[in-house]
Every structure is written in C-alpha cells, then in structure tokens.
Amino acid sequence: MRRLFKYLFLIICVVLPFEHAFCEVRPNIMLILLDDLGKEWVSAYGASDIETPNIDELAASGMRFENAWSMPQCTPSRLSILTGQYPFRHGWVNHWDTPRWGDAYYDWRLNPSLARIMKDAGYNTVVAGKWQVNDFRIEPDVMVKHGFDDYAMWTGYETGNPPSAERYWDPYIHTKEGSKTYEGTYGEDFFTQFILDFISQNKEAPWFAYYPMNLPHAPFVNSPLEPEAEGVLGKHKAMVRYADFLLGKIINSLEEIHELDNTIIIWTTDNGTHGAIEGDLNGKVVRGGKQKITENGINAPFIVYGKELVPRGVVTDALVDFTDFLPTFVQLSGAKIPEGITLDGKSFADLILGKSNDSPREYIVSMGGLNEAKRSDKGVENAFVFRNRVIRNKRYKLYANSSPEYGLEKLVDLGNDPEERKNIIFSEDAHIVETVRKLSSILKGMSSKDNDPIYTRRDPNPWDVEVSVKSQVWKQ
C-alpha cells in the first residue's frame, strides 16, 4: 500500500508544473562518478574495443548527453560538483591531493556543500568511494560536517602511511569507526554494498547517494571477475567492465527493494582516460585525454536515468557542465540555496524530467590542465598558476588563457572539425568574428585571477611544510 501511494504521488508530481511538484514524494538521487574514463570506453557512445552492457542499457532507457563538460582533472571536477562553482571561484584550479600534499582543505564552514544542502532539505545522505580533498587524520568527522549522514571513503594516499595508498585490493578505508585496512576485500565491492545497505536502511525518506568510484583509475589491477587480466590495457578493460558490472548490481538491488521507480541516477566520469591508453571511438583511435582541455579530456560520457521520471531513449545535444549538478539537485529536491552563495551552474532538471527540450545554457566552460600548472614550495599562496580556459556553444569552442588578461588562442568548429585540428580564430567571416566576440566577452566577465582553495588550517597538522593561509571570502 505504501508503494502504491508513493507511485500515485510520483505521477502527480511529474504532471504538475515543477514549481508545484513537491508533494509528499521527491525523487531519490544517485550520482555515480567514475575516475578517468572517456567516451572511447563506453560502447553506448560508439566504443568498439569494449562492451559495457549495463551502461548501455542505462543510456537506452534514459537520456544520453553529447555535450557535457567536466574539468580536465580530478579535484577540480569534484569541487565543481560539490560547490556549483567554477575552479577560478572555488580555488581548486588544479589537482590537489590533500592527504599527500597538504596544500588545500575543503573546509565545510567556508565552502558551499551539495550534501549539506540536500540534508537540510530532508534527504538522507550517503557517500562512498574516493574523496581526497580532506585529511581524515586532522578532522575524522569532516564528512558529517559536509552533510553526509554516513560515509566510507578511500582516504587518498596519506603521507607517511603506506597502507593508505591501497584503494582496490586490501583497501584502506575511513568510516565512522576510523581508518583501517580491509584485508581480502576489493574496495569497490565494499563501497557499493555500503551504499546499498544505507539505502535499504534509510528508504522511508528521500535519499541522496554520491558514489565517486575509484575505478578505473591507476594503478591497473585485476578485478574480481577477471583475475587473469594482463598488462595495462587488459587490466584497464577489466576495471571498466567491473564498473559496468557494479552498475548492474546497483540497478538490480534498487529494483529488489522497490526504490528504483522514484530514483534518478546520473552516471558520468570526472575527466578523460589516462593518457597511456588508446581506445577506438566510432572507428577512430582516441588517446586518453586526462589533464587536457581537448574534447577527449573534458567531454564526458553523461547519462541520466529515471525509470518513472526521465524520458527513455533520448540523445540530447544540450549543454551541461559540472557546475550544474548542485542547482539541478536543488530543483529536484525542493532544497534551498543558502544566502550569499554565488553559483555558476544552471539547473537542467526540466530537461531530464521531459519538461524542456534543452538545457538553459547557451555556453559551458572548463578550466585547467596540468601542463600549465606550476607548484610552488611556499604553500597554498600562489601554489598554482592556472591559465587554460575553454568555452563553447553548441558548435564553436574557444581556447583562451587568463593571465594577465585573456589571450584568445584558438577557435574550432566542433560541428565540422570534432578532432579540433583547424584553428579558425583569424577568420574574417562575420559570423565567426561575432562568435569570438560573444564567447570571449563571457570569459572576460569572469575573474582572470584564480582563487586559492579556501580553507582554515587544522591542528594537529601531520605535514612538515608550513602552510600560509590566504584570507578570502568564498562568496566572491
């Protein structure tokens, strides 16, 4: 009976205009974020070197995006998801490995937090997988302070603690009981079951589950299903197939506990594949683009599924970037954005609910690239020089640098030149000139100065290096 009433409320909420759609039932939301995987390793996008049947079924039963941009590296993408802000604003302009380097800290008091916003809206919240933007030795319960009711995290490699390097076999995991090695366990099995157990025990209220997988990031290891895989490429394929297997397990488990009908799942990746790996995409060889702002580095596989919520079998050219998660989840959940927060993202909730044929975006932005970064030995202040920025509309993509003022470097016509080989920025065609003017004016409206990660130093501090704390206001 409870399920019948829940289903009826769901139908009413979908039919009504969105501003009136928050009845007794709000959708559960699951975000699955893979680590280092481009479209050339997802057969739904045309990859020919691998089969990913569960991901493909998710795409066929939901909405597949062609133009969703991540950031080119790990922590810039993740902080953009969690804050709804671009890296120049939240400060994680390049990859910081906080437990290892200690130069940055995602401070729950000073930064926007997606999970905290969802929790304040009445959602039960859980996270399991990779975090890497806090050091749990300094603040063991920081995940709760960020807004997660429960958590199981690979800590990231903690300097001076060799066991913490392990994320797959015999993983080193931090929970409310502390940090320890789980001998004989495969990390992704632990994380998957942890999330499913939380959902099963907390399904009387809407829930938000964030699953930032470690898969298929290096080190390349054998998976439980393919213990005999050999070589970097063989193990990479095995790891991708295991991520696909786990997605199937999640879908089946949610169906079994009657939680699938009212759940929206977003499946995506944080950046392109490791540069040592080549795949085949629609008949063309694609080298992994991690750390690059070319399309193989930032145009992420991006799928949205909702059994009773999201239109089926849709392929969309709508523009989306990773700052859009927070405002989208706010709209879906009926949450409120705290006062004083500046967001860069825009909600695509109406699109995935079938209320619109497009996202509200006229452009998307990505920022970063390791080859333009310089790490200082002076701690957080000016720790990285961050120059690369790209912006695109549905057809054209503009490359620029941001220091000292924007220098325009390249324009490509993605519609006719998807491999980005021809620079047309010097074209005198009136339409091209106007496109450059319009896209560059948007970039110039953003600060050309990149913030440092905004944080407060914690003690005891396990690092030897002195870290200077730069006074900033995160609302800027």
pLDDT digits (tens, 9 = 90+) for 165-174: 999 999 999 9
Distance CA 269, CA 206 (A): 24
- Note the pLDDT of residue 319: 98
Q: Across residues 120-126, what is the average pLDDT?
A: 97
Residue 423 is predicted with a pLDDT of 96
For residue 409, how many C-alpha atoms fall within 13 Å in the half-sphere facing its CB?
A: 14
pLDDT digits (tens, 9 = 90+) for 50-83: 999 999 999 999 999 999 999 999 999 999 999 9
**Radius of gyration for the chain, computed over Cα atoms and rounded to the nearest angstrom:** 21
Alpha carbons 475 and 342: distance in angstroms, whole number: 6
Residues 6 or more apart whose Cβ sits within 8 Å of residue 349: 18, 328, 331, 332
For residues 95 and 132, is the Cβ–Cβ distance under 8 A? no
Report the pLDDT averaged over residues 207-234. 97
Nearest to 332 by CA among 313, 304, 358: 304
Mean pLDDT score across all residues of the chain: 88
Say if residue 3's pLDDT is above 80. Answer: no
Q: What is the pLDDT of residues 238-291, one digit of tens each?
A: 999 999 999 999 999 999 999 999 999 999 999 999 999 999 999 999 999 999
Quote the pLDDT of residue 405: 57
Predicted confidence at residue 9, as pLDDT, reads 46
Residues of the chain above pLDDT 90, percent: 77
- Which of 16-20, 100-104, 159-163 bottoms out in mean pLDDT, i.e. has the lowest? 16-20
Predicted pLDDT of residue 451: 83
Cα 282 to Cα 41, 49, 128, 224, 279, distances in angstroms: 11, 10, 33, 29, 10
pLDDT over 80 at 136, yes or no:
yes
pLDDT tens column, 320-378: 999 999 999 999 999 999 888 999 999 999 999 999 999 999 999 999 864 333 333 43
Q: Which domains does the chain have, with CATH numbers?
A: 26-362 (3.40.720.10)
DSSP H helices, 66-201, are 74-83, 87-90, 98-101, 114-120, 142-146, 187-201
Between 471 and 372, residue with greater pLDDT: 372
DSSP 64-100: EEEEEE--SSHHHHHHHHHHSS-HHHHS--S---HHH
Give CA–CA dist 410/468, Å, rounded: 36
- The identity of residue 416, as a single letter, is N
Query: pLDDT value at position 29?
Result: 98
